[in-house]
């Protein structure tokens, strides 16, 4: 099973460059679209590690980032619609994993997609 620290290191290290590219813009609120294959409760420890990693880099929800979550509840047939929903919100970056990757790639060719590793139970 993957440890929170490994998830955090992978996710935040990949997410930081797209957000930092224009970090000089004062007052900008970055929008992250998070497409989860499972549910928020399944991801709870990983989401906290993800948010902590962002805080460590100076990004805080409600201050300079907004994270829009969509959860497929392990119903992979929902992923394309949820990915399209996130793309309509015009995020600066999409974060997903496993089967969510293909749905995200089909939904956009212009928004950067960060692919994170998660425990196999969520893939």
Q: Is residue 107 within 8 Å of 72, Cβ to Cβ?
A: no
Cα 4 to the chain's mean position, in Å?
Answer: 15
- The pLDDT score that the predictor gives to residue 27 is 84
- The pLDDT score that the predictor gives to residue 69 is 97
- The pLDDT score that the predictor gives to residue 77 is 97
Which helix (H) or strand (E) covers residue 40, if one does?
helix 40-56
Domain ranges in the chain are: 4-15+30-118
What is the CATH topology of the domain spanning 4-15+30-118?
Rossmann fold (3.40.50)
Mean pLDDT of successive 10-residue stretches along the chain, which has 123 residues: 51 55 70 96 90 94 96 97 98 95 97 82 47
Which helix (H) or strand (E) covers residue 6, if one does?
helix 4-20
Pick from 112, 111, 103, 26: nearest CA to 70: 103
From the number of C-beta atoms within 10 Å of its C-beta (0-12, 13-18, 19+), residue 39 rates as: middle
């Amino acid at each position: 099973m993957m440890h929170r620290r490994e998830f955090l290191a992978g996710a935040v290290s990949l997410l930081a460059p797209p957000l930092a590219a224009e970090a000089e813009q004062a007052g900008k609120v970055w929008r992250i679209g998070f497409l989860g294959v499972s549910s928020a409760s399944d991801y709870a420890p990983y989401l906290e590690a993800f948010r902590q990693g962002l805080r460590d880099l100076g990004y805080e929800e409600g201050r300079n980032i907004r994270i829009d979550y969509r959860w497929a509840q392990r119903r992979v047939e929902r992923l394309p619609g949820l990915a399209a929903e996130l793309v309509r919100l015009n995020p600066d970056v999409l974060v997903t994993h496993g089967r969510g990757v293909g749905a995200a790639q089909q939904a956009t060719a212009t928004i950067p997609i960060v692919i994170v590793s998660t425990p196999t139970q969520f893939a």
